[in-house]
Amino acid sequence: MSFHAVNMNEPAARWSASAGSDQIAIGVAKVAKPYIPYDGPVVTRDEARATGLKRYFDNSPCARGHVAERYVATAACLGCGRENARACNKIRKTKNPERWATIRKAWDASNRDKLNVQARDWRANNPEKAKAYCAKYYAENRAQLQAAGRAYHHANREWQNKKSRE
C-alpha cells in the first residue's frame, strides 16, 4: 500500500492516496462545521504506528457504531470523542451558564462576518421560516420598533428633509 501523510496538526489535513470512494463513512449527524467525508486509504493501526501517523482509518465500526478515524495512541474513535466533548460541554454549560454566555459573546464578536454569512444562507434556504420569525418578532416588539423608528426620524430630520427636496 502506497500512501503518505500530510501534517495532521492542520484541521483540513487528509491522507492522499489512490483509494476508492467505497471507504467513505455514511450517516453523519448535523454539525456546525461542514462534513468532509474520509477519503483516505484503509490503514491498520500497526501500519499507522510504523509510519508515525497520529490517526488511522481501518473501516471498522467502534463500539458505538461510528465508522470514523481513530487515534493511534488509544484506538479511540473520533466520533466518540466528538460525542463525549458535546456531552461534557452540555453539563458544563448547565453548571455555569454565565461563563458560557460570556465565552459565546466573545466568540460572536470575533466571528461576526462568519455569523452574518450563516444567517444570510439560512434565510435564503428557509424563506418561509425567516418571514414567520420576522413577523413574530415584530408582533412581540412592535412598540419598541416604532419608538426606535421615531427616534431615528427625529435624529435625522435634516437629512430626510434634504433628501425629500431632491
Which cell numbers hold the place of 90?
452540555
Q: What is the pLDDT of residue 162?
A: 78
What's the whole-number mean pLDDT along residues 66-87? 92
Instruction: Answer with the residue of higher pLDDT: 10 or 61.
Output: 61
Q: Whose grid coordinates read 431632491?
A: 166
Q: Which of 2, 5, 10 is nearest to 52 (CA)?
A: 5
Of 9-13, 75-79, 105-109, 119-123, the poorest mean pLDDT is in 9-13
Q: What is the pLDDT of residue 128?
A: 97
Instruction: Please state, in angstroms and rounded to a whole number, the distance separating the CA atoms of residues 25 and 12.
Output: 17
Instruction: Please state, in angstroms and rounded to a whole number, the distance separating the CA atoms of residues 159 and 96.
Output: 48
CB contact at 8 A, 130 and 122: yes
Confirm whether pTM is higher than 0.85: no
> 77 φ, ψ to 5°?
-80, 140
Q: 3-state DSSP helix/strand/coil percent for the chain, to nearest 5?
A: 55, 5, 40
Q: Is residue 63's pLDDT more than 80?
A: yes
